[in-house]
Amino acid sequence: MIRLTAGCKVNLGLHVLGVRADGYHELDSLFYPLPTPCDQLDIRETGGQGIVVRCHEPCVNPERNTLTRAYAAFAREAGGAPGIAAHLRKGIPSGSGLGGGSSDAASLLLWLNQRAGRPLDAAALARAALAVGADAPFFLRNRPCRVQGVGEILTPTKHDFSGLTLVLVCPEIHVDTAWAFARYDALFPPAERIAAQNSLTKSPREANGTSLFGAGNGPWSAWDIRNDLEAAVFPSYPQLAAIKADLLRLGADAACMSGSGSSILGLFSRAAAAKAADAARALRAEKRRVYLLPLGNTGM
Protein backbone atom coordinates (compact mmCIF):
# COMPACT_ATOMS: atom_id res chain seq x y z
CA MET A 1 0.00 0.00 0.00
CA ILE A 2 1.14 3.53 -0.74
CA ARG A 3 -0.12 6.74 0.87
CA LEU A 4 -0.43 9.95 -1.15
CA THR A 5 -0.94 13.39 0.34
CA ALA A 6 -3.00 15.87 -1.67
CA GLY A 7 -2.72 19.54 -0.72
CA CYS A 8 -5.11 22.31 -1.72
CA LYS A 9 -5.06 25.72 -3.40
CA VAL A 10 -6.38 29.20 -2.85
CA ASN A 11 -7.45 31.71 -5.48
CA LEU A 12 -5.69 35.02 -4.92
CA GLY A 13 -8.47 36.68 -6.88
CA LEU A 14 -10.85 35.27 -9.47
CA HIS A 15 -12.15 37.22 -12.47
CA VAL A 16 -15.06 35.88 -14.52
CA LEU A 17 -14.47 37.00 -18.10
CA GLY A 18 -17.42 35.44 -19.88
CA VAL A 19 -19.29 32.29 -20.82
CA ARG A 20 -18.27 30.11 -23.78
CA ALA A 21 -20.70 28.56 -26.25
CA ASP A 22 -20.31 25.20 -24.46
CA GLY A 23 -21.43 26.74 -21.16
CA TYR A 24 -18.04 26.81 -19.48
CA HIS A 25 -16.83 30.06 -17.94
CA GLU A 26 -13.65 31.81 -19.04
CA LEU A 27 -11.67 32.73 -15.93
CA ASP A 28 -8.54 34.58 -14.94
CA SER A 29 -7.13 33.72 -11.53
CA LEU A 30 -3.94 33.33 -9.55
CA PHE A 31 -3.71 29.88 -7.94
CA TYR A 32 -1.40 29.32 -5.00
CA PRO A 33 -0.84 25.74 -3.66
CA LEU A 34 -0.92 25.01 0.05
CA PRO A 35 0.34 21.93 1.94
CA THR A 36 -2.55 22.14 4.42
CA PRO A 37 -5.41 21.44 4.77
CA CYS A 38 -4.83 18.22 2.89
CA ASP A 39 -6.39 14.87 1.97
CA GLN A 40 -4.74 11.46 2.28
CA LEU A 41 -5.19 8.70 -0.26
CA ASP A 42 -4.19 5.10 0.45
CA ILE A 43 -3.77 3.01 -2.73
CA ARG A 44 -3.47 -0.75 -3.03
CA GLU A 45 -3.11 -2.66 -6.29
CA THR A 46 -5.67 -5.46 -6.49
CA GLY A 47 -4.45 -7.40 -9.48
CA GLY A 48 -7.91 -7.07 -10.99
CA GLN A 49 -9.54 -4.42 -13.12
CA GLY A 50 -10.90 -0.94 -12.42
CA ILE A 51 -10.97 1.16 -9.26
CA VAL A 52 -12.89 0.78 -6.02
CA VAL A 53 -13.11 3.94 -3.89
CA ARG A 54 -13.88 3.98 -0.19
CA CYS A 55 -13.95 7.03 2.05
CA HIS A 56 -13.16 7.46 5.73
CA GLU A 57 -16.40 9.44 5.84
CA PRO A 58 -19.42 8.77 3.60
CA CYS A 59 -18.64 9.57 -0.05
CA VAL A 60 -20.97 11.53 -2.26
CA ASN A 61 -21.62 9.23 -5.24
CA PRO A 62 -18.57 6.96 -4.72
CA GLU A 63 -19.05 5.51 -8.22
CA ARG A 64 -18.66 8.93 -9.88
CA ASN A 65 -16.26 11.01 -7.79
CA THR A 66 -13.08 12.70 -9.01
CA LEU A 67 -10.97 9.61 -8.32
CA THR A 68 -13.11 7.34 -10.50
CA ARG A 69 -13.14 10.01 -13.23
CA ALA A 70 -9.36 10.43 -13.02
CA TYR A 71 -8.82 6.68 -13.24
CA ALA A 72 -11.09 6.43 -16.29
CA ALA A 73 -9.42 9.43 -17.98
CA PHE A 74 -5.95 7.96 -17.44
CA ALA A 75 -7.03 4.56 -18.75
CA ARG A 76 -8.42 6.20 -21.90
CA GLU A 77 -5.20 8.10 -22.57
CA ALA A 78 -2.85 5.26 -21.64
CA GLY A 79 -4.85 2.35 -23.05
CA GLY A 80 -5.34 0.80 -19.63
CA ALA A 81 -4.56 1.06 -15.92
CA PRO A 82 -3.91 -1.38 -13.08
CA GLY A 83 -6.77 -2.44 -10.84
CA ILE A 84 -6.64 -0.52 -7.56
CA ALA A 85 -8.51 0.04 -4.31
CA ALA A 86 -8.35 3.61 -2.98
CA HIS A 87 -9.22 4.75 0.55
CA LEU A 88 -9.72 8.52 0.86
CA ARG A 89 -9.40 10.47 4.11
CA LYS A 90 -10.71 13.99 3.69
CA GLY A 91 -9.01 16.91 5.40
CA ILE A 92 -9.92 19.53 2.80
CA PRO A 93 -13.49 20.70 3.41
CA SER A 94 -15.94 19.95 0.62
CA GLY A 95 -17.51 22.99 -1.00
CA SER A 96 -14.77 25.27 0.32
CA GLY A 97 -13.25 26.55 -2.94
CA LEU A 98 -9.91 24.87 -2.16
CA GLY A 99 -9.93 22.29 -4.97
CA GLY A 100 -9.81 19.17 -2.81
CA GLY A 101 -11.43 16.84 -5.34
CA SER A 102 -9.20 18.09 -8.14
CA SER A 103 -6.12 17.70 -5.97
CA ASP A 104 -7.08 14.11 -5.16
CA ALA A 105 -7.53 13.40 -8.87
CA ALA A 106 -4.19 14.93 -9.81
CA SER A 107 -2.39 12.95 -7.10
CA LEU A 108 -3.86 9.73 -8.47
CA LEU A 109 -3.00 10.67 -12.08
CA LEU A 110 0.61 11.40 -11.15
CA TRP A 111 0.93 8.09 -9.28
CA LEU A 112 -0.61 6.11 -12.13
CA ASN A 113 1.76 7.79 -14.56
CA GLN A 114 4.81 7.13 -12.41
CA ARG A 115 4.16 3.40 -12.28
CA ALA A 116 3.07 3.09 -15.93
CA GLY A 117 5.35 1.16 -18.27
CA ARG A 118 4.91 3.87 -20.91
CA PRO A 119 4.13 7.11 -19.04
CA LEU A 120 1.93 9.73 -20.65
CA ASP A 121 3.61 12.90 -21.83
CA ALA A 122 2.72 16.22 -20.18
CA ALA A 123 0.06 17.10 -22.77
CA ALA A 124 -1.76 13.78 -22.46
CA LEU A 125 -1.64 13.90 -18.68
CA ALA A 126 -3.03 17.45 -18.74
CA ARG A 127 -5.88 16.29 -21.01
CA ALA A 128 -6.73 13.56 -18.53
CA ALA A 129 -6.71 16.08 -15.68
CA LEU A 130 -8.92 18.57 -17.52
CA ALA A 131 -11.43 15.80 -18.20
CA VAL A 132 -11.84 15.53 -14.42
CA GLY A 133 -12.22 19.22 -13.61
CA ALA A 134 -11.02 22.72 -14.34
CA ASP A 135 -8.69 22.88 -11.32
CA ALA A 136 -7.05 19.48 -11.82
CA PRO A 137 -4.38 20.51 -14.39
CA PHE A 138 -3.01 23.04 -11.90
CA PHE A 139 -2.33 20.36 -9.31
CA LEU A 140 -0.12 18.48 -11.76
CA ARG A 141 2.29 21.43 -11.51
CA ASN A 142 1.50 22.46 -7.93
CA ARG A 143 3.27 25.81 -8.07
CA PRO A 144 1.87 29.36 -8.18
CA CYS A 145 0.32 29.95 -11.59
CA ARG A 146 -1.89 32.38 -13.40
CA VAL A 147 -4.80 30.20 -14.58
CA GLN A 148 -6.88 31.22 -17.58
CA GLY A 149 -9.43 29.77 -19.96
CA VAL A 150 -11.41 27.08 -18.16
CA GLY A 151 -8.30 26.01 -16.27
CA GLU A 152 -6.20 24.67 -19.13
CA ILE A 153 -3.96 27.73 -19.65
CA LEU A 154 -1.32 27.75 -16.91
CA THR A 155 1.43 30.34 -16.66
CA PRO A 156 3.88 30.05 -13.73
CA THR A 157 4.07 33.39 -11.98
CA LYS A 158 7.29 35.25 -11.22
CA HIS A 159 5.82 37.13 -8.29
CA ASP A 160 7.89 37.08 -5.10
CA PHE A 161 5.59 35.77 -2.34
CA SER A 162 8.32 35.41 0.27
CA GLY A 163 7.51 37.20 3.50
CA LEU A 164 3.76 37.31 2.90
CA THR A 165 1.44 35.53 5.32
CA LEU A 166 -1.90 33.93 4.57
CA VAL A 167 -4.70 33.52 7.09
CA LEU A 168 -7.23 31.02 5.75
CA VAL A 169 -10.64 30.61 7.38
CA CYS A 170 -12.68 27.50 6.53
CA PRO A 171 -16.25 27.83 7.83
CA GLU A 172 -18.55 24.84 8.06
CA ILE A 173 -20.48 25.96 4.99
CA HIS A 174 -20.73 24.10 1.68
CA VAL A 175 -21.12 26.31 -1.40
CA ASP A 176 -22.08 24.49 -4.59
CA THR A 177 -19.86 25.59 -7.48
CA ALA A 178 -22.51 25.17 -10.19
CA TRP A 179 -24.98 27.20 -8.14
CA ALA A 180 -22.46 30.01 -7.59
CA PHE A 181 -21.73 30.40 -11.31
CA ALA A 182 -25.42 30.15 -12.25
CA ARG A 183 -26.27 32.81 -9.70
CA TYR A 184 -23.50 35.06 -11.03
CA ASP A 185 -24.79 34.65 -14.58
CA ALA A 186 -28.29 35.54 -13.44
CA LEU A 187 -27.08 38.69 -11.67
CA PHE A 188 -24.66 39.75 -14.42
CA PRO A 189 -25.94 38.72 -17.86
CA PRO A 190 -23.15 38.58 -20.46
CA ALA A 191 -24.64 41.49 -22.43
CA GLU A 192 -24.33 43.78 -19.41
CA ARG A 193 -21.40 42.23 -17.60
CA ILE A 194 -18.68 44.34 -16.16
CA ALA A 195 -16.36 42.73 -13.64
CA ALA A 196 -18.32 42.78 -10.39
CA GLN A 197 -16.77 45.49 -8.27
CA ASN A 198 -17.05 44.09 -4.77
CA SER A 199 -14.48 46.24 -2.93
CA LEU A 200 -12.70 43.06 -1.90
CA THR A 201 -9.57 44.87 -0.81
CA LYS A 202 -8.69 48.03 0.93
CA SER A 203 -7.74 50.93 -1.29
CA PRO A 204 -4.44 50.32 -3.13
CA ARG A 205 -1.46 50.80 -0.92
CA GLU A 206 2.19 50.04 -0.99
CA ALA A 207 4.18 47.91 1.44
CA ASN A 208 7.79 49.07 1.89
CA GLY A 209 7.67 50.78 -1.48
CA THR A 210 6.44 47.74 -3.44
CA SER A 211 3.08 46.19 -4.16
CA LEU A 212 1.77 43.35 -2.00
CA PHE A 213 3.31 40.82 -4.42
CA GLY A 214 6.64 42.61 -4.66
CA ALA A 215 8.04 44.93 -7.30
CA GLY A 216 6.46 45.09 -10.72
CA ASN A 217 3.20 46.31 -12.12
CA GLY A 218 1.68 43.06 -13.38
CA PRO A 219 -2.06 42.33 -13.40
CA TRP A 220 -2.08 40.84 -9.91
CA SER A 221 -1.20 43.85 -7.78
CA ALA A 222 -2.87 44.19 -4.38
CA TRP A 223 -5.89 46.13 -5.64
CA ASP A 224 -6.66 43.45 -8.23
CA ILE A 225 -7.23 40.70 -5.67
CA ARG A 226 -10.97 40.45 -6.11
CA ASN A 227 -13.29 37.50 -6.56
CA ASP A 228 -16.18 38.30 -8.88
CA LEU A 229 -18.23 35.41 -7.49
CA GLU A 230 -18.57 37.13 -4.12
CA ALA A 231 -21.32 39.28 -5.62
CA ALA A 232 -23.31 36.09 -6.20
CA VAL A 233 -22.39 34.14 -3.05
CA PHE A 234 -22.34 36.72 -0.24
CA PRO A 235 -26.03 37.70 -0.36
CA SER A 236 -27.01 34.08 0.34
CA TYR A 237 -24.16 33.49 2.82
CA PRO A 238 -23.68 36.71 4.81
CA GLN A 239 -21.48 34.80 7.27
CA LEU A 240 -18.78 34.73 4.60
CA ALA A 241 -18.95 38.48 4.09
CA ALA A 242 -18.59 38.88 7.85
CA ILE A 243 -15.42 36.74 7.89
CA LYS A 244 -13.91 38.86 5.12
CA ALA A 245 -14.76 42.01 7.04
CA ASP A 246 -13.14 40.52 10.18
CA LEU A 247 -9.91 39.77 8.29
CA LEU A 248 -9.70 43.33 6.96
CA ARG A 249 -10.51 44.75 10.39
CA LEU A 250 -7.74 42.62 11.90
CA GLY A 251 -5.12 44.04 9.55
CA ALA A 252 -5.18 42.05 6.29
CA ASP A 253 -3.90 44.05 3.33
CA ALA A 254 -6.34 42.17 1.08
CA ALA A 255 -9.07 39.61 1.57
CA CYS A 256 -11.32 37.58 -0.71
CA MET A 257 -13.21 34.34 -1.09
CA SER A 258 -11.33 31.39 -2.58
CA GLY A 259 -12.91 29.95 -5.72
CA SER A 260 -16.67 29.69 -5.42
CA GLY A 261 -16.38 29.59 -1.62
CA SER A 262 -16.77 29.02 1.19
CA SER A 263 -13.19 29.58 2.41
CA ILE A 264 -12.09 33.18 2.96
CA LEU A 265 -8.45 34.25 2.89
CA GLY A 266 -6.59 37.26 4.16
CA LEU A 267 -3.18 38.30 2.84
CA PHE A 268 -0.82 40.13 5.16
CA SER A 269 2.20 42.02 3.88
CA ARG A 270 5.73 41.57 5.13
CA ALA A 271 5.26 44.53 7.44
CA ALA A 272 2.05 43.05 8.91
CA ALA A 273 3.25 39.53 9.79
CA ALA A 274 2.61 40.05 13.51
CA LYS A 275 -0.95 41.15 12.73
CA ALA A 276 -1.49 37.90 10.85
CA ALA A 277 -0.65 35.82 13.92
CA ASP A 278 -2.90 37.98 16.07
CA ALA A 279 -5.73 37.68 13.54
CA ALA A 280 -5.43 33.89 13.46
CA ARG A 281 -5.59 33.74 17.28
CA ALA A 282 -8.61 36.03 17.39
CA LEU A 283 -10.51 34.02 14.79
CA ARG A 284 -9.64 30.70 16.44
CA ALA A 285 -10.99 32.08 19.70
CA GLU A 286 -14.33 32.30 17.91
CA LYS A 287 -14.16 28.51 17.30
CA ARG A 288 -13.36 28.95 13.61
CA ARG A 289 -11.18 26.58 11.59
CA VAL A 290 -8.17 28.77 10.79
CA TYR A 291 -4.80 28.17 9.12
CA LEU A 292 -1.81 30.50 9.45
CA LEU A 293 0.55 29.92 6.53
CA PRO A 294 3.71 31.77 5.52
CA LEU A 295 4.04 32.03 1.75
CA GLY A 296 7.18 31.45 -0.31
CA ASN A 297 8.34 31.40 -3.90
CA THR A 298 7.34 27.81 -4.62
CA GLY A 299 4.08 27.75 -2.71
CA MET A 300 5.01 24.62 -0.77
pLDDT digits 0-9 by tens, 177-195:
999 999 999 998 865 554 4
Q: Say which of 28, 39, 135, 228 is annotated catalytic.
A: 135
Ordered by where they begin, the domains of the chain are 2-156 (3.30.230.10), 165-294 (3.30.70.890)
Query: Using one digit for the tens of pLDDT, what is the confidence trace for 190-209?
Result: 655 544 444 333 433 433 33
Q: Read off the amino acid at residue 39.
A: D
Q: What is the pLDDT of residue 42?
A: 98
Tell me if residue 9 is catalytic.
yes
The contacts of residue 251 (CB under 8 Å, 6+ apart) are 268, 272, 275, 276, 278, 279
Between 57 and 47, the higher pLDDT residue: 47
Rounded mean pLDDT, 244-273: 95
* Region class of 47: left (phi > 0), else alpha (psi between -120 and 50), else beta: left
Residues 198 and 190: their CA atoms lie apart, in Å, by: 18
Q: Say which of 9, 90, 244, 275 is annotated catalytic.
A: 9
Q: How confident is the model at residue 54 (pLDDT cuts 50, 70, 90)?
A: very high
Tell me if residue 39 is catalytic.
no
Whether the pTM exceeds 0.85: the reply is yes
**Quick one: CA dihedral 204, 208, 212, 218, positive or negative?**
positive
Residues 11 and 92: their CA atoms lie apart, in Å, by: 15
